[in-house]
Amino acid sequence: MTESTGKINKNTGLKKWWHMLRPHTLTASFVPVILGTAIALPKSGINIPLFIAMLLASMLIQIATNLFNEYFDFKRGLDTEESIGIGGTIVRDGVRPETVLRLAYILCLTATLIGVYICIESSWWLAVVGCICMMAGYFYSGGPYPIAYTPFGELAAGLFMGVVIILISFFIQTDTITINSILISVPIGLLVGGINMANNIRDLDGDKEKGRQTLPILLGRSRAITVLAGLFVVSYLWIIGLMLFGVESAWLLVVFASLPKAYQATKLFTGKTKSIQLMPAMKATAQMTTMFGFLLSLGLILDYIINL
């Protein structure tokens, strides 16, 4: 959409399919896998095939979740041609709803097949955890009581697409879960939840009109922005705590190179209420999470190399 014309540009060809995958959200899938693998590096090294399999499975589940969201938002009348955001492929770009739903199921099936390989190489208990993650992806926007319509969307996103994915990625490399791996997973869980909150802040007015009860609606826009900024602050303080209590080394402080992006994201939210105005803020939140996750992984890798 352009502010000068007020019209929404229709995507065509390959662009509409790329748009439908919602690539900006994939931070929530690949960053946790990379971090979980980096945590495992000093303990067991890296099994490259398992890393690639986990990365693919996680991204496929994320994309399928996006497609379920696309389909069910359309079915419930939430998406219109005037809707602002990364969704709306069905109403704007002419993709058939049945095609979107079918593709989501195909991606889930593909992720399941990859998961079978991961279980063979690791543990069949992961099949249970993987099924729960896929169910969370479906019921986020599907089923009679979608998670997306409640105040628990941020919690579900942070837990399943943040903490759980990190711990699975660590487990398949090491065959164990450690206190350190849990502690390091916390800030990324917070930030992945923050991506969800940024999306809900942007959509606050429209969601309220449609009867949703998301966390930003319950908090109000101003408080929701404050909570989002608080998630950023706690994430950085958590890293300092890991260093001060000897859980990890000072190399993790490299994450502070992402601090300007966190400040930018918060500033972009401040004083704005229209969805189109908040798109850059949402994008900056996803970018900040990506930078934070990559830098945290880099800090762990540098610490490993220095101590070889």
3-state secondary structure 20-79: HCCHHHHHHHHHHHHHHHHHHHHHHCCCHHHHHHHHHHHHHHHHHHHHHHHHHHHHCCCC
Domain 13-306, CATH class in plain words: mainly alpha
pLDDT at 150 over 90: yes
> Quick one: average pLDDT of 139-156?
92
Confidence (pLDDT) at 308: 80
State the pLDDT confidence band at 83, using cuts at 50, 70 and 90.
low
For 198-240, write each residue's pLDDT tens digit.
999 988 888 888 888 999 999 999 999 999 999 999 999 999 9
Confidence (pLDDT) at 1: 37
Which three-class secondary structure state does DSSP give residue 150?
coil
Compute CA 184 distance to the chain's CA centroid, rounded to the nearest angstrom. Answer: 17
pLDDT at 274 over 90: no
Confidence (pLDDT) at 5: 39
pLDDT at 57 over 70: yes
Of 176, 167, 87, 99, residue with least CA distance to 133 = 167
Pairwise pLDDT comparison (221 vs 275), residue with the higher score: 221
For 11-20, write each residue's pLDDT tens digit.
555 676 676 6
Average pLDDT, rounded, for the chain: 87
The domain locations on the chain are 13-306
CA dihedral 154, 156, 158, 161 (to 10 degrees): -130
Pairwise pLDDT comparison (78 vs 38), residue with the higher score: 38
C-alpha distances in Å from residue 214, one per residue of 51, 67, 160, 208, 280 = 34, 20, 18, 8, 21
Compute CA 253 distance to the chain's CA centroid, rounded to the nearest angstrom. Answer: 23
The C-alpha atoms of residue 72 and residue 137 are separated, in whole angstroms, by: 12
